[in-house]
Amino acid sequence: MGQYDYLAGLNKNLRQWGRQAQHILFPPRSIATGQHLQGPGQIEPHIWAKLTFAGGPICHCCGQGLDPALHFDLVAEQTCAACMAHRPVFDRARAALIYDDLSRDIILRLKYGGDRSGLNLLARWMIAAAPDMVANSTLIVPIPLHYTRLVSRGFNQSLYLAAAISRLADKPLAAHAVKRLRATPTQAGKSANGRRRNVAGAFGVSRLGRGRLKDARIVLVDDVYTTGATVEAVTRILRQAGADRVDVLTLARVARPVDPTI
């Protein structure tokens, strides 16, 4: 064994020992409960087993789950009745998880607690939900927060997710390509029409975004897809700026168009 091989092996062992020591001194916390974990991973096995990942037959356009009793072909591109009646302005939407009590806890820890410890894991779930979408993209764009909310909260959870996806997929991140022009009230509790009215005219392209968006194939990142009002409003702005296509990727989506407290 040469000196180079010896040093490489020593460095590998030191990194492994360092990770083991870090795990003992600073045991990881669950992305769902915040509790210290004794074993490997970032979520308790019993919670992992109960998570509902988005899958099965879905609408090729919006990603909404389709009734498996009515849709047998999992290969053919199928479109839900809502998209046939009113095609969304974005090209496709996909999500990693179905929004329920368990995924809600994960999202709230990220959205209001700023817990970034599980970002890489969450980003991997999102990439796995739409590998071709991410692979064919040329730009990752997060849904922006208004500066007043950004100051009060201290972070933008959509930017956290977008940055992790950008890093793992080796795709350029346009962190501030889009800006909020006005502070909109929270979308929670509003009807679908109320959500659309709430975000109408709320977004614009920033000076940093001019020139980067033209002909771009964009993956637009947000935490939760509820009615699609926010991502559609941002998509219109991206289209006006010359984007070639806009796909939407979220950590979770509401299984049916209802208005949960998010």
3-state secondary structure the chain: CCHHHHHHHHHHHHHHHHHHHHHHHCCCECCCCCCECCCCCCCCHHHHHHCCECCCCECCCCCCECCCCCCCCCCCCCCCHHHHHCCCCCCEEEEEEECCHHHHHHHHHHHCCCCCCCHHHHHHHHHHHCHHHHHCCCEEEECCCCHHHHHHHCCCHHHHHHHHHHHHHCCCECCCCEEECCCCCCCCCCCHHHHHHHHCCCEEECCCCCCCCCCCEEEEEEEEECCCHHHHHHHHHHHHCCCCEEEEEEEEECCCCCCCCC
Q: How far is the C-alpha of 258 from the C-alpha of 242, rounded, in Å? A: 32
For residue range 99-144, list pLDDT tens digits in order.
999 999 999 888 887 778 889 999 999 999 999 999 999 999 999 9
What's the token pair of residue 232?
């559609």
What's the token pair of residue 177?
């390509």
For residue range 211-260, list pLDDT tens digits in order.
899 999 999 999 999 988 899 999 999 999 999 999 999 999 998 654 44
Q: Please state, as a whole number, how many other Cβ atoms lie within 10 Å of the Cβ of residue 46.
A: 7
Would the pLDDT of 17 be above 60? no
Residue 67: per-residue pLDDT: 79
Name the least confident of 33-37, 68-72, 159-163, 172-176: 68-72
132 Cβ contact list (under 8 Å, min separation 6) = none
Residue 209: per-residue pLDDT: 84
Do residues 15 and 91 lie in contact, with contact meaning Cβ atoms separated by under 8 Å?
A: no
Q: How far is the C-alpha of 136 from the C-alpha of 130, rounded, in Å? A: 10
